[in-house]
Structure formats: structure tokens, C-alpha cells
Structure 1
Amino acid sequence: RAAGLAGVRLRRRHRTTVADPAAAKAPDLIGRDFTAREPNTKYVGDITHLPLDGGKFLYLATVIDLASRRLAGWAIADHMRTDLVTDALSAAEQTRGGLAGAVLHTDHGAQYTSRAFADACRKAGVRQSMSAIGSSADNALAESFNATFKRETLQGRKHWSSEHEARLDAFRWLHRYNTRRRHSHLGQRSPIAYEAALDTTSTTLAQAA
């Protein structure tokens, strides 16, 4: 006090990962290797919160392809029940026409360790993979995606003014992310452009054979 110093209270971080100690855990099949040789083989999934005016939140669940960085599936809701992540998984399954044999890597959140999500993965033919408890680096690509999404949609604001505005901004950005946003990892192409180039190359090779 004599020196005129005062502590700064950091803004409380909204938790979206709440582990269930009694839930079954899956092994880590990724090992921080966020790459894949071809699409529809390895994915990461996560949940992030969308702050609204008045202290309310929406929640965004994503399923991202590690080969093309494509957002294959996503869901937004005003809750963090297991339905949120199973809906995102179902959306990815519809996008791909099937996920059989693919690996889906997530954190140890109760939604991902739930029996309902395990059943959904089993039904889709997906192998579950999980990071270590409390280690954000083990799911770094998903964490980076979430940070970029919020930085580019909120643009310095602390929250959205309404649920409608948040949903609209999210839809616009997520669509642009897949179709127009360029990635250095993909040779300055968007995820869908990258996959289209792979399809063209594959078709050309097949015809030549």
C-alpha cells in the first residue's frame, strides 16, 4: 500500500472441461501428433464457451480433421450436456458419409467420457483417444482453433450482445473457415480446397493406372 501497488484480479476462466473421476478413460492414440496422411482418419474434438451479454453462455462443440484441418462437424447449444458432443459427432458423420476406422481425440470432459458418447463412437466405428487430465497441450490443435475463432469473431469485445448474434457470427465464421480461410499448413489453401486438390490428384492417378 505504501508503494501504491495494488493487485489485479484476473478474469475468471469459464470451465468447459469437468472430468468425471469414475468414468472410463481411453488411451492417447495421438501423442501430440496433430497430423494425418489423409482425411477422415484422425480428428480432434473439443468444447468452448461463447460469452453472451448478462453473463450467459452458449457452447460450441467441434470435430476437426487433422489432415485437412476441415471442421467436419459442429454443434451449438445453451448447455454442455452430452447431446452437444454427440450432435457434433453426428454432423461429422453426415459430412463424411461415415467415420468407420477414424480416431477421435478429446480431453477428459464428462461429456466425452460418458457412456452415451462412447456408444455413439462405437456405433459410428470411431476409436476414442483422450489426452492427459489437465494438459491442454495434448489437444493443442483444438485449443488453437477455439482461440482463433473467438479472436476473429469477437474482435476485442468481451461478449456477444445476444444468442442470435453469437449464432450468426459463428455460422459465418465456421463456413468461411472451411471454404475461404487459408492455412499455411495446407499450402495457403482452405480445408475444402485442399481436400478437392487431393481428390483431383487421386482421380488422376487412378486414371493413369
Structure 2
Amino acid sequence: MARQAASMKKTRTRYSQDYKAEALALADRVGISAAARELGLQPSQLYQWRTKAQQRQSASEREQTLADENARLKRQLAEKSEELEIGKKSRGVLCQEPEVKYAFIHQHRQAFSIQRMCAVLGIARSGYYVWRQRGGEPPPRRRQQTVLDQRVAQAYQRRKGRSGAPRLALDLVDEGLAVNRKTVAASLRRQGLRAKAARKFKATTNSRHSLPVAPNLLEQDFTAMAPNQKWVGDITYLATGEGWLYLAVLIDLYSRKVIGWAMSERMTAGLVGDALQMALWRRKMPQGVIVHSDRGSQYCSTLYQSLLTRYDLECSMSAKGNCYDNACAESFFHSLKVEAIHGERFETRDAMRRQVFEYIEMDYNRQRRHSAIGMISPEAFEARMIA
């Protein structure tokens, strides 16, 4: 046991180049410390990755990166300049009641954007418009309602419009506001806010091949009593202005955490192999895990099957044409597309990569409440069970 524990201590988490590239892109936007905190890494890791990436980067690529960053900073500077000017003029009302803030907005509506003033003052635009319609004197009940709408709108925006009344109600209760699902639902209706809606699922992988297939070891039992007992994987496609971007994931059924992912312009066996390799690195190379997927040719390929054999993993596959046999992976793709993709336009594959990376590593794994694990996030669930 002591020798096994020592061996486990020496095993270090390894990260794919895709993961490092997206982590560095996040660090460029929010800073090393913030990115390390969001991703659960050490700042020193990000500094080391950045140094190696810069060494590989050519002079022309560095110049283009600097030019792009300069343009982005100029846009941000223009926005921040207006916010700073608003902040200077509104210093005396920042801690006042919402009605005082509404009066300030009304007074300065010709000089500044109403939307930006509301953002700086931390209030909902809907509250301001209601106040203006009532001549600046709302009744006490409506005043309470406006304050509630403000809190609900802030919670809605923090969740990027991805959560409905049940999850937002739990968020607000955690913040100390005693509300229930029906109250939050009514507030959302008043403000015209809706969680992003679903679209019909479409199959991705091709099961029409002559390669050997594995038996279904899960048989739609998606429960697991501990980490690394059952993993499920699948592939989906994402549309960009440059063409398709394919995403492969692996999910641990114990916590519903996405433990491995990979993206590519082509849907190959290497794509699912890269996702599996990431999962193995992040989970410290476990053995005996049931790894379930559909019967797509990528999962039946010699490359993917050799990885399963090399690392002593058990292969499981869905019945032909039965998407319910892999419902957990389909559910994740549904959440990803509804909450982060639909309604947005991605001109480049790199833009889509950033969106998917942030959704998986920052939103889904670390923040999104999951109904199958008690309405908490996968990482919170694993931390609670380990503690």
C-alpha cells in the first residue's frame, strides 16, 4: 500500500496541447491569476506553458497576435472610458436606493447609454423603465417587485441566460434571498427573460461499418458509486463560418463531470483517442473503467480499441440506432448547444473552440447545477463526496 501511495503521488496530471492553448487564451483575456483560479491550476503552470508557446511562435505570428490584442484593447478601452465617466458622475448614488439610481439615469440619458449606466449602477433596465412609466413613484409592492427583478436579472446574467427558474431560485437562496421557483418564474416573465430553448437532436457518428462492436455493459444504468467506474463518450459537430468543428467528450457518470475532450476539423479515430487520453491523464490512469460509446466507426477503430486494451479499460457500446443507450452524453451535448451555441454566430473555428472550452471547464464542470447529482456542480459534488 505504501509503495502504491508513493507511486500515486509521483503521477502528475498531463494536459493536451489543445487544453494548454485554450487555457493560455483564457489567461490572455482575464489574466494569469484569474485563469488559474477558474481552471484549478497553479499560476506557475500557465507561465511555463506561455513561455514554451512563445518559443514556438514565429515573429510574424507574434506580430499578428499583438495587432489583434491591440484592437481588442482599444475596443475595451472605449467601453471602459464610458464606464469610468459614468462612475465618476454617479459616485454619490452607487449606494443609494434603486429609485435614486433611476433618477440619475433619467437625468443623464442623453449623455450616456441607458444600458451601460444600468450595468455600472448594478440595476436592471426593466426596473428603470417601470419606474419611468409610473412617474418615478412606484407603490411599495411594486418597489419590492422591482428590487426582486433586479436580483433575478443579475442571477440570470451571471448564468449567461442558460438557467431557468429552478436553478436561479437555488442560486438566490444561496445568496440569502428567500424565494421559490414560482416567484422567480414570475419575475422572469415580467422581464421577458427566458432560458435558452432546446432544439431537436441529430445523430452524428456513422454506425454503418463492418468493424467489430462491443457488448452493451451499461444497459442504460447510468449510476456509479465512485469515480472511474463508468465513463461515457460521444462526438458532436458544431457549425462555424469556416466549416464544421467536431467535439469528442468523455463524462464520468459518478459526478457527470467532463473529464476528457478534444476538438478537430475532422471526425477521425484520433479525435476520440485524444479525448480518451485526456481523461486518463486527468484521472491518474485508472484501470478497469467501463468506457461506453455508440457504435461509430471512430470508436470501433483499431486505434481507439488499442488504447482501451493498453490501459486495461472495458469497452461498452450502445445497441444499434438506440440513442437512449448513451443518454448522458447526448444530454451534455444538448446542454452545450442550447446554453452556449444556439443563437450565436461563430465566424471561425477558434472562436468556437474558445466558447466550448469555457463552457466545459468554467461553466459546466465548475458552476452548472446538475439535476442528477442534487442540483450542484460536478466539481462541487466530487469535492463533497471526497470530504
TM-score of the two chains, using structure 2 as the length reference: 0.47
- The answer to whether the aligner puts 1:53 opposite 2:252 as a matched pair is no
Give the partner amino acid of 1:191. P
Query: Among 335, 358, 361, which residue is 1:172 paired with?
Result: 358
Which residue does the alignment assign to 1:133?
Answer: 320
SS of residue in 2 equivalent to 1:59: strand
Query: Among 290, 301, 307, which residue is 1:103 paired with?
Result: 290
CA distance in 2, matches of 1:137, 1:156: 26
SS of residue in 2 equivalent to 1:50: strand
Contact preservation (8 Å) 1:20, 1:113: no
State the Cα distance separating 1:80 from its structure 2 match: 0.7
Give the partner amino acid of 2:237. H
Query: Among 297, 304, 307, which residue is 1:120 paired with?
Result: 307
Query: Among 336, 340, 354, which residue is 1:153 paired with?
Result: 340
State the Cα distance separating 1:121 from its structure 2 match: 0.7
SS of residue in 2 equivalent to 1:160: coil
State the Cα distance separating 1:167 from its structure 2 match: 0.5
State the Cα distance separating 1:156 from its structure 2 match: 2.3
Which residue does the alignment assign to 1:197?
Answer: 384
Which residue does the alignment assign to 2:205?
Answer: 17
* Higher gyration radius (CA): 2
CA distance in 1, matches of 2:343, 2:220: 30
- The answer to whether the aligner puts 1:70 opposite 2:257 as a matched pair is yes
Query: Among 27, 31, 37, which residue is 2:225 paired with?
Result: 37
State the Cα distance separating 1:72 from its structure 2 match: 0.7
State the Cα distance separating 1:99 from its structure 2 match: 2.7
Give the partner amino acid of 1:16. T
Contact preservation (8 Å) 1:85, 1:112: yes
Q: 5+ residue gaps in structure 1?
A: 1-12, 201-209
CA distance in 2, matches of 1:95, 1:166: 23
State the Cα distance separating 1:142 from its structure 2 match: 0.7
Which residue does the alignment assign to 1:10?
Answer: none
State the Cα distance separating 1:21 from its structure 2 match: 2.9
SS of residue in 2 equivalent to 1:24: coil
State the Cα distance separating 1:115 from its structure 2 match: 1.1
Structure richer in strand, relative to its length: 1
CA distance in 2, matches of 1:113, 1:182: 33
SS of residue in 1 equivalent to 2:292: strand
Which residue does the alignment assign to 1:93?
Answer: 280
State the Cα distance separating 1:183 from its structure 2 match: 1.1
Which residue does the alignment assign to 2:270?
Answer: 83
CA distance in 2, matches of 1:24, 1:35: 27
What pairs up with 1:175-186 in 2 under 5 angstroms? 175=361, 176-186=363-373
Give the partner amino acid of 2:217. L
Q: 5+ residue gaps in structure 2?
A: 1-200
CA distance in 1, matches of 2:385, 2:323: 31
CA distance in 2, matches of 1:165, 1:22: 37
TM-score of the two chains, using structure 1 as the length reference: 0.85
SS of residue in 1 equivalent to 2:300: coil
CA distance in 2, matches of 1:21, 1:170: 30
CA RMSD of superposed structures (Å): 1.4
